[in-house]
Amino acid sequence: MQVKSLSQKNKILIIQTAFIGDVILATSFIRQVHNSYPNAEIHFLLRAGNQKITEHNPLIQKTIIWNKSEKWKSLFKCIKEVRKENYNLVFNIQRFFNSGLITALSKAKIKIGFDKNPMSFFFTHKIKHMIPHTTESSYLHEVERNQQLISPLVKQELYPTRPELYFTAKEKEKVEAIKKESNSEGKPYIVMAPSSVWFTKQLQKKKWMELVKNLIDYQIYCIGGPDDKNYIDEIIQNQHHAINLCGKLSLTESAYLMQDAHKVMVNDSAPLHLASSVNAKTIAFFCSTVEEFGYGPLSDDHHIISKKLDCKPCGLHGKKECPLGHFNCSERIEINQVMQLL
């Protein structure tokens, strides 16, 4: 790999203001930038609420937070802060106007981003962005798509690298205490993340209920945000081998719990990328979306369960309901298929 030298005083800004899963995947790009420019100071700009993901990342010297709820006020504050830093290089992973404006006004000598960003005409280098991004033999994963951003500066081969999360001793102790208290018999355990922001990305509730009932020989931990608690309660009702941890674990704590799980069962959603970050043994359900979009699991031991349908995919991110009313992309997934993977 040919690496252009940068001095210790040089600063690099990486921008990713999208959702939690996108930020998790961006951590592999942070590693790549560090490996390419080990003497540079790396800063990371992300949306408020996602900063816990990179809070303990030793490769990041400073985090800049954009509070989307404050709209223009926070955006202009971010722009002012970015301009004061005098970055030599800005990588913009995001494709929307706000991140593009920050990049355009950054004063950085080199500005690299994707061509689909509406402000990309201000960038010094524009990289073609495609979903799916097919190749002669396969397709690019999102981490490989992001890796393209460094190609104008460093010659390299694209290869999928797992995202990186870091855990404090306190986080580890908390998770180990939960495991010890709830699983005194030391049974193998399974982590489930049944919820998603998008309804059609979720395996149906009745399927999760059937899974829980069939996994009586395992301790089950269900994870999610505080808003998912009631949904998970309905899934695990009267199943004493299952525990609802929604709202009780942070994202990084959830990832640490996944690390030693017998299996992790997830939708095509952010918890899938948490599982990849710790190389957890993963079973991923792709209902309305497809692996070819580039958001599949990166764990060594993983299985994707997905049904081929003429109506699939029905969108990049999923929808609030099945456009055709049958939800066959979930309905046709058989629980026996899952059980055979245990």
Rounded to the nearest 10 degrees, the angle between the axes of helix 251-259 and helix 270-277 is: 50
Any idea which of 97-111, 154-168, 293-307 has the lowest mean pLDDT?
A: 154-168
Tell whether domain 11-150 is in CATH 3.30.300.30.
no
**Domain 171-339: homologous superfamily in CATH:** Glycogen Phosphorylase B; (3.40.50.2000)
How confident is the model at residue 7, as a pLDDT? 53
Residue 4 has pLDDT above 80, yes or no: no
Residues of the chain above pLDDT 90, percent: 92
How confident is the model at residue 6, as a pLDDT? 53
Residue 220 has pLDDT above 60, yes or no: yes
* Averaged pLDDT score across all residues of the chain: 95
Residue 5 has pLDDT above 70, yes or no: no
Task: Give CATH 3.40.50.2000 domain extents, the chain.
Answer: 11-150, 171-339
How confident is the model at residue 157, as a pLDDT? 85
The SS3 assignment for 159 reads: coil
Q: Which two tokens stand for residue 291?
A: 């692996």
How confident is the model at residue 156, as a pLDDT? 82
Strand partners, 241: none
How confident is the model at residue 196, as a pLDDT? 93
Please state the separation of Cα 131 from the chain's center in Å. 16
Query: Whole-angstrom Cα distance, residue 146 to residue 254?
Result: 25
pLDDT, tens only, 256-310: 999 999 999 999 999 999 999 999 999 999 999 999 999 999 999 999 999 999 9
Residue 1 has pLDDT above 60, yes or no: no
Residue 2 has pLDDT above 90, yes or no: no
How confident is the model at residue 3, as a pLDDT? 42
SS (H, E, C) 214-253: HCCCCEEEECCCHHHHHHHHHHCCCCCCEEECCCCCCHHH
pTM as predicted: 0.94
Question: Phi and psi dihedrals of 283, rounded to 5?
Answer: -115, 115
